[in-house]
């Protein structure tokens, strides 16, 4: 699983059979400190995530299995919305990083800008 932030939507007027009704979102993968890793990717959405939300994704075969119609051609699927991030037994800097990531999430989800 990989943490990611929803940064946009993708509109597709033509979809492969089995993907009708599936919403696609543009997500930015994040590292353990909440920093962007690599470029944005398109992900199928199974949890009704919205712009700015912190989500977790699965890739490869698991991405296709997470959809109602199995074995459709997707390689990234959003399978959860993250409510909070905590690091037990971590040093103060790691806790501060987790708190900052959660604060960015809450400011965006409350209508602010990340």
Q: Is residue 61 part of a domain?
A: yes
Domain total of the chain: 1
Backbone φ, ψ for residue 23 (5° rounding): -85, 140
Mean per-residue pLDDT, 89-110: 52
Q: Is residue 107 part of a domain?
A: no
3-class secondary structure per residue, the chain: CEEEEEEEEECCCCCCCCCCCCEEEEEEEECCCCCECCCCEEEEECCCCCCCCEEEEEECHHHHHCCCCCCCCCCEEEEEECCCCCCCCCCHHHHHHHHHHHHHHHHHHCCCCC
In which band, very low, low, confident or very high, does the pLDDT at 97 lie, cut at 50, 70 and 90? low
- Using an 8 Å Cβ cutoff, are 19 and 72 in contact? yes
Q: Is residue 35 part of a domain?
A: yes
Per-residue model confidence as pLDDT tens digits over 33-89: 889 999 999 999 999 999 999 999 999 988 988 988 778 899 999 999 999 887 776
Q: Is residue 56 part of a domain?
A: yes
Does residue 96 carry a pLDDT above 90?
A: no
Q: List the domain range (segments joined by +) for residue 78.
A: 2-83
Domain at 49, CATH number: 2.40.50.220
Start-to-end CA distance of the chain, whole Å, equals 23
Per-residue model confidence as pLDDT tens digits over 4-32: 999 999 999 899 998 999 999 999 999 87
Q: Is residue 47 part of a domain?
A: yes
Q: Is residue 23 part of a domain?
A: yes
| pTM beyond 0.95 | no
Q: Is residue 94 part of a domain?
A: no
Q: Is residue 33 part of a domain?
A: yes
Does residue 1 carry a pLDDT above 70?
A: yes
């Amino acid at each position: 699983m990989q943490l990611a932030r929803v940064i946009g939507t993708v509109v597709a007027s033509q979809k492969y059979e089995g993907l009708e009704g599936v919403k696609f979102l543009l997500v930015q993968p994040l590292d353990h400190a909440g920093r962007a890793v690599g470029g944005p990717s398109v992900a199928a959405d199974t949890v009704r995530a919205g712009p700015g939300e912190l989500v977790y994704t699965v890739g490869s075969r698991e991405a296709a299995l997470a959809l109602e119609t199995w074995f459709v051609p997707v390689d990234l699927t959003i399978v959860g919305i993250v409510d909070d991030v905590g690091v037990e037994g971590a040093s103060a800097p790691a806790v501060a990083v987790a708190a900052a990531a959660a604060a960015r999430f809450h400011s965006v989800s409350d209508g602010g800008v990340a």
